[in-house]
């Protein structure tokens, strides 16, 4: 086991450990996956030290890196330490600096600060899984702000059904002049089209849910993000963080077949509809969460009734409906999640038939993006 000896700013260490620990799986079955790999070394030709902290669940590997200025690394080396205990200890310290040391062939990491000295068991760095090689099939440079919007607009529809693995991620492809992102769980479907980008050699991928969440977490507010793509692997280079992940294999379903065409528009204030659904769902059946939209001229009534427990509610709101009177049932939770992701004050529901899916779109143009959410109806009971 190699030794380590360094003194560094406590907050710097806290930040880099916290970043890497976000990739540690709480459900890890292999003990080694509950650990962090720390590598500490001197930047060549400078007075700066570098610490790299790596975590993996064998599907996703996250390496957080930070350079601390003007501090000499007394002894370079690598060590593997239990993530939860190490992070909890750092969280209880408030000193300005912390000293880390472990002697060669020793099995304890010594952590010294103003509050005291502590010893944490460590294991040999060689036992920690090595990161995968960097994919080299294609490279794409994507705008960070657009990528953030694509993930935020679709991740709520990702399926948890492991029997349909293709649906457990976000499908992203370069289509025409823009990036398209799609996710669906069979009850809802979200699709967003971004503005024109130069995606290089990028074609398509299915991004796992955890990977998408980590990318979104560490995306900068602006600038570009570099993707290295392989047949089954992805590497994303972000400021101070690199994420390597397996991609979901298989073909994504033809989502276009579940998006109804045409339909009459119902335009309502989004917040008014959200409030009405929330009020009425108090009286909905706790199993199917059914609420009913009754459409008639310039009025929409959101209703719910629990026939078994008793009680019912009806919340009228203003709405522009140009078709024949109609009633249509929805799962309140699915409808609310869709409305939450419409980024305009007014929302338009396009309805073809009460037995077919409704399409929700912004009532006004959104600069740079086209949003569309499909919500399946619930059979009225």
pLDDT digits (tens, 9 = 90+) for 114-142: 999 999 999 989 999 998 887 777 788 88
**What average pLDDT score do residues 217-233 get?**
89
**What average pLDDT score do residues 308-316 get?**
88
- Among 238, 256, 274, which residue terminates a domain? 256
Interatomic CA distance for residues 222 and 228, integer angstroms: 19
Number of domains present in the structure of the chain: 3
246 and 265 both lie in a single domain? no
Give residue 164's pLDDT band: very low, low, confident or very high (50, 70, 90).
very high
Residue 177's pLDDT is 65
Residue 1's pLDDT is 56
188 and 95 both lie in a single domain? no
Residue 200's pLDDT is 66
Burial of 30 (0-12, 13-18, 19+ CB in 10 A): exposed
Q: What percent of the chain has pLDDT over 90?
A: 66
Residue 150's pLDDT is 92
**What average pLDDT score do residues 300-326 get?**
89
Chain position carrying tokens 């999640």: 337
Interatomic CA distance for residues 282 and 253, integer angstroms: 35
156 and 211 both lie in a single domain? yes
Residue 104's pLDDT is 73
Is beta strand 116-123 parallel, antiparallel or unpaired with respect to 108-113?
antiparallel
Give yes or no for residue 209 having a pLDDT over 90.
Answer: yes
178 and 251 both lie in a single domain? yes
- Among 105, 127, 149, which residue terminates a domain? 127
Residue 159's pLDDT is 97
* DSSP bridge pairs for 312: 305
Q: What percent of the chain has pLDDT over 70?
A: 97
**What average pLDDT score do residues 176-188 get?**
88
143 and 244 both lie in a single domain? yes
Give yes or no for residue 32 having a pLDDT over 70.
Answer: yes
111 and 162 both lie in a single domain? no
Other beta carbons less than 10 A from residue 265's beta carbon: 15
Q: What is the CATH number of the domain that holds 121?
A: 3.10.150.10
Q: Where are the alpha helices (DSSP H) in the chain?
A: 10-21, 83-92, 144-154, 209-218, 270-281, 332-340
* Residue 133 within any structural domain of the chain: no
Which residues constitute the domain of residue 202? 138-256
Mean pLDDT across the chain: 90
230 and 266 both lie in a single domain? no
11 and 123 both lie in a single domain? yes
Interatomic CA distance for residues 264 and 256, integer angstroms: 19
150 and 80 both lie in a single domain? no
* Residue 380 within any structural domain of the chain: no
């Amino acid at each position: 086991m190699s030794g380590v000896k360094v003194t560094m700013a406590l907050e710097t260490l806290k930040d880099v450990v916290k970043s890497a620990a976000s990739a540690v799986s709480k459900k890890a079955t292999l003990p080694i996956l509950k650990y962090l790999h720390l590598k500490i070394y001197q930047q060549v030709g400078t007075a700066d030290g570098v610490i790299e902290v790596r975590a993996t669940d064998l599907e996703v590997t996250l390496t957080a890196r930070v350079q601390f200025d003007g501090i000499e690394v007394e002894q370079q080396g690598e060590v593997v330490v239990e993530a939860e205990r190490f992070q909890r200890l750092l969280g209880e310290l408030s000193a300005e600096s912390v000293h880390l040391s472990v002697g060669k062939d020793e099995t304890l990491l010594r952590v010294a600060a103003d509050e005291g000295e502590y010893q944490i068991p460590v294991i040999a760095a060689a036992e920690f899984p090595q990161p995968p090689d960097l994919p080299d099939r294609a490279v794409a440079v994507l705008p960070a702000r657009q990528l953030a919007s694509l993930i935020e607009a679709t991740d709520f529809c990702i399926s948890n059904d492991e029997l349909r693995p293709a649906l457990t991620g976000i499908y992203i492809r370069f289509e025409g002049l823009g990036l398209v992102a799609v996710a669906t769980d069979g009850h809802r479907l979200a699709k967003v089209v971004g503005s024109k980008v130069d995606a290089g050699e990028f074609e398509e991928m299915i991004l796992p849910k955890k990977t998408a969440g980590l990318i979104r977490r560490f995306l900068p507010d602006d600038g570009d993000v570099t993707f290295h793509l392989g047949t089954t692997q992805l590497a994303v280079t972000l400021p101070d963080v690199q994420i390597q992940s397996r991609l979901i294999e298989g073909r994504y379903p033809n989502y276009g077949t579940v998006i109804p065409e045409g339909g009459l528009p119902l335009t309502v204030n989004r917040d008014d509809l959200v409030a009405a659904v929330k009020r009425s769902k108090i009286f909905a059946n706790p199993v199917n969460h059914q609420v009913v939209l009754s459409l008639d001229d310039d009025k929409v009534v959101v209703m719910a009734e629990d026939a078994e427990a008793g009680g019912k509610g009806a919340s009228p709101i203003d709405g522009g409906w140009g078709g024949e009177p109609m009633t249509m049932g929805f799962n309140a939770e699915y409808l609310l999640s869709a409305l939450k992701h419409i980024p305009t004050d007014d929302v338009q529901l396009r309805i073809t038939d009460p037995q077919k899916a409704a399409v929700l779109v912004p009532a006004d143009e959104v600069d740079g993006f086209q949003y569309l959410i499909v919500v399946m109806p619930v059979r009225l009971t």
